[in-house]
Each structure stands twice: as C-alpha cells, then as structure tokens.
Amino acid sequence: MNNVVPVAVVSVYAVLLTYVAVRARAAREFAEFSLAKRALPLALVFGSLAATYVGPVFSIGLVGKGFTSGFLFCAIGLAYALQNVLVGLLVAPRLRALENCHTLGDAIGQKYDRKCQIVAGVISVGLCAGFAAVMARAGGVVLTDISRLPNWSSVVIVVGVTALYTTFGGLRASVITDAFQFTAFALLLPAVLVWLFLFHLPGGGAAFVREASAATGAGFGSTSPLAIAGLVAAFLLGETLIPPYANRALASRTTVVSRNGFVLAGLFSVAWFTVMISLGVVARTLIAEGTNEDYVLLNLVRKTVPTGGYALLLVVLVSVIMSSLDSLLNAGAVAFTQDIVKPFSALSDSAALSTGRAATIVIAGVAAACGIAVHRIVDGLLTCYAIWAPAILPALIIGLWVKRPRPLAGILSMGVGAAVAVTLWIIFKFIFDWPIEVCVYRIIIPGLALALLAYLLGHWMARAKTEA
C-alpha cells in the first residue's frame, strides 16, 4: 500500500492537534499547569478520563487479546469498570474535597506528613515514566507501520510531539486535546467494527459467534483460575487513581463533577472493551493465525479498509496513544514539582511552572528511551499495575477514610509494598523468566498483603509510642 496518504493525513492531524493545544492557551501559572485551576466541567472530566484510560493497551492490546483469547479479557475488564465506578462513588469526591491539593502526594502529605508525600511523589513519578514508556512503545508500533521508519525514531517522534504541546499548555491543553481525540476514536473505531460486520465477515453473525466461542473457550482453558484471579485483581486495582486520574478528580469543578466523571467513564469502558474484543474476534477470520498481538488491529484495518479509511484509523490510533501519553507526562511533571522539589525548596509560582515544564521534557526523554525496550504493550501495562497497587493504594485509601492516620504506617506501607512488588517482578522476570500474565497475581496479591501488614504494624508502633 502506498504510504503517502497515511503519512500525509497523520502529519496534518499532528499540526491540527498542536493548533488545538495552542488555542487552549499556554499555562501562565502553576495552578493552571497542574490542575487547570480546578475548574473542569463534567464533559471535559469524563472525556479526558476515557481518553486517558483507553490508550493503546485498551485498544491495540485488547484487539490482540480478543484475537488470541476471545472475550476472556472483556470479562476481566469488568473489574476495571467496577473500579472506576467505586472510585467515583467512594474516593474521588473525598480527594476533590481536600484544599490546596495538586497531586496524590499532596493528598498523602496532608493526611500523613511531608516524608510520606516525598515517598509518594517518587513512586508517582517512576510509575508515570513506566506507563509513559508503554505508550511510547505503542506509538512506535503505529508510526513505524505508517512510515516504515525504524522503531526508535518513531518512538522519539510520537513522544516529542506529545511533549511539545503538554509542556506548552499543561493540564488544560492535555484535557482539551484529550476531549478532541476522544470524539475521534469514540466514533471511528466502532464504525470500523460495523464496516467489518457488514462487508468483510465471512459467514456473518454465525461465524462471529463460532469464533468468539472457540477463542474464549481456548482463553479460559489456557489460563488457570489463579491467573484469572490475578488479572482481575490487576485490572481492579492496578490503575486505581494513578496520577493522571487523580489529577482529573482534583481538577474537577466540584465534588459532584468528580464523582459523576468517574462513574460515566467506568460505564463507557464496558462498551469500549466489548468493541475492541469484538474487533479481535472478527480478525480471526481475516488475519493469519500467529500474528503478533500488537499488530492485529493494524493488519486487520490495512486489509479491509480503503486507503482513506485506513489513514483515518491511523489518526485515531495516534490520538489514542497521545491522549494517554500527554496525561502521564503532565501528571509526572506535576508530581515531581509538587511532591519532590517543593518540600525541599520554597519555589515561586514562576519557578514551579518552569520546573514542571522542564520535568515534562525529562520524563518524556526517559519514556522514549525505555519505550524502545518494551516488548509487548499489555505486558508493560501489567508490570506497572503490579507495582502501583501495593506501593500506593493501601496508604492512600486508608488515609482518606481514617480520621488520624499515622505517618509511620503510611511510609512503611508504601516502602514495603513497592519493595516487595519490584523484588518479586525481578525474580519472576529475570530468574524464572515467567510471562507477566502468569506471575502478575504472584506480585500484586503478596505485595498488597504485606503493604497492609506493614501499615497495621506502623499504626500499632506509632500509637504505642504516643501512649507511652
């Protein structure tokens, strides 16, 4: 296929996206760069949340999983939808109610102390860079397919363009471009599924049911109950209030907007997962068996959609990737400034803004470098899930609900959770050489258990010291 049209369309899209970001106005103060002055309406909160979580994993990755294991991951994905709804009902309003709070680290600092804030900030920045590396890998896959450039240069281009408008406009530009991108992929990817059903699926609905049944049966048959439980735990907890989502909760206009944005995003995820998995099932009748999961969607559309439609789909995929990447870059930069630098230095507003912009560029560079080393998109995401949940969630959730949380409990929980998760990942990855899908529950469940035990121990020690 001639690549001139796709390259031209994607180039025009990148220019249009930059124009939208510029029209969003450059951030002039840190409050605008970090939280858009806490004035986001429901439509922008919902659209930005959905655009952020859809990402390449919940598009390219899920299509690949539908191709290999049918609706297994759609069932697992219901845990993700439940998580969003529960966060909206129980956690996001409490987070939004905190005053002068820019980040998760800020929230933890207010509930515990400054040391806990710094630890939370280090974890947040590290995980934002890790998640961003996964997005960079996906961007490289798409751009290489379009332009035939080497993978490393494709990764650099995608990350560079995203960093450009994120550095310029901060959260406001990120949210507005996310809403613009959300509209594109929420319409076009379901349209591709309808197109395939109408014109390219041999055997129609009966063939779809047959392939879905065979693939789903094989998926459940090849995945142990413990592995399924671990994946459910990963999807339920692994992205819970990661920094970009927490920033949307904090930037919402009111607590009601924060709550409703998460609930609507959770409900939307059910429909989205169904569409993506269905595309993977349809691909089983059209794409060669054994195709790499990360390339199923690209190969499917290249084979079935006319050149113009293929170019539009590539635009959608680029927008999917950039809408997740820009959120991660901004959240990591804000966490670095607010949680790591500010506790040691009283920055003026202009200095904080400059620090945030510089941190955006640095995190983008780290993400590009690490993205080249990521082998599979879903594997990279599951690795981040397995570390994030034990490292942050026990301290964060308990801290938001307990009246007087103890700083020692928070810092022990975060330290033990992160150390256990990273150690187990290194053992399973580099010593046993197990796939992350097999060992994710062996990381996340012990990590959470030990983080909770460490929290209880710290709480008991601090209370005993106070009473003494």
Confidence of residue 462 (pLDDT cuts 50, 70, 90): very high
Residue 10 has pLDDT above 80, yes or no: no
Domain extent, residue 82, equals: 4-376
Higher model confidence: residue 12 or residue 385?
385
CA distances from 283 to 69, 75, 257, 295 (A): 12, 19, 39, 11
Token pair in block for residue 11: 């180039």
Q: For residue 72, what is the DSSP state?
A: H
Residue 181 CA to its chain's centroid (Å): 15
Q: What is the predicted pLDDT for the residue at 267? A: 95
Higher model confidence: residue 53 or residue 156?
156
Phi and psi, residue 173, nearest 5°? -65, -40
Residue 398 has pLDDT above 50, yes or no: yes
pLDDT in tens, 184-199: 778 888 888 888 888 8
Higher model confidence: residue 177 or residue 335?
335
Tell me if 399 is assigned to some domain.
Answer: no
Residue 284 has pLDDT above 90, yes or no: yes
Question: Is the Cβ–Cβ distance between 356 and 337 less than 8 Å?
Answer: yes
Tell me if 28 is assigned to some domain.
Answer: yes
Tell me if 238 is assigned to some domain.
Answer: yes
Separation between Cα atoms, residue 187 and residue 381, nearest integer Å = 25
Tell me if 299 is assigned to some domain.
Answer: yes
Three-state secondary structure call for residue 252: strand
Higher model confidence: residue 138 or residue 329?
329
Tell me if 455 is assigned to some domain.
Answer: no
Name the residue among 118, 127, 84 with its Cα closest to residue 387: 127
Find the CATH number of the domain harbouring 138: 1.20.1730.10
Separation between Cα atoms, residue 413 and residue 394, nearest integer Å = 7
Lowest mean pLDDT: which of 108-112, 283-287, 373-377, 415-419? 373-377
Higher model confidence: residue 72 or residue 385?
72
Tell me if 319 is assigned to some domain.
Answer: yes
Separation between Cα atoms, residue 320 and residue 308, nearest integer Å = 19
pLDDT in tens, 131-178: 999 888 888 887 787 777 788 888 888 898 888 878 877 777 677 777
Tell me if 453 is assigned to some domain.
Answer: no
pLDDT in tens, 346-377: 899 899 999 999 999 999 999 999 888 777 77
Tell me if 235 is assigned to some domain.
Answer: yes
Q: What is the predicted pLDDT for the residue at 1? A: 47
Mean pLDDT of the chain: 87
Q: How many domains does the chain have?
A: 1
Q: What is the predicted pLDDT for the residue at 19? A: 66
Separation between Cα atoms, residue 142 and residue 316, nearest integer Å = 10
Looking at the DSSP assignment, which residues form a beta bridge with residue 40?
A: 252
The amino acid at 395: A
Confidence of residue 17 (pLDDT cuts 50, 70, 90): low
Higher model confidence: residue 26 or residue 280?
280
Select the highest-mean-pLDDT range: 219-223, 294-298, 336-340, 370-374: 336-340
Separation between Cα atoms, residue 164 and residue 158, nearest integer Å = 10
Separation between Cα atoms, residue 346 and residue 338, nearest integer Å = 10
Residue 468 has pLDDT above 90, yes or no: no
Mean per-residue pLDDT for 267-290? 93
Separation between Cα atoms, residue 342 and residue 356, nearest integer Å = 11
pLDDT in tens, 56-114: 778 888 999 999 999 999 999 999 999 999 999 999 999 999 988 889 999 999 999 99
Separation between Cα atoms, residue 293 and residue 98, nearest integer Å = 42
Lowest mean pLDDT: which of 48-57, 66-75, 270-279? 48-57
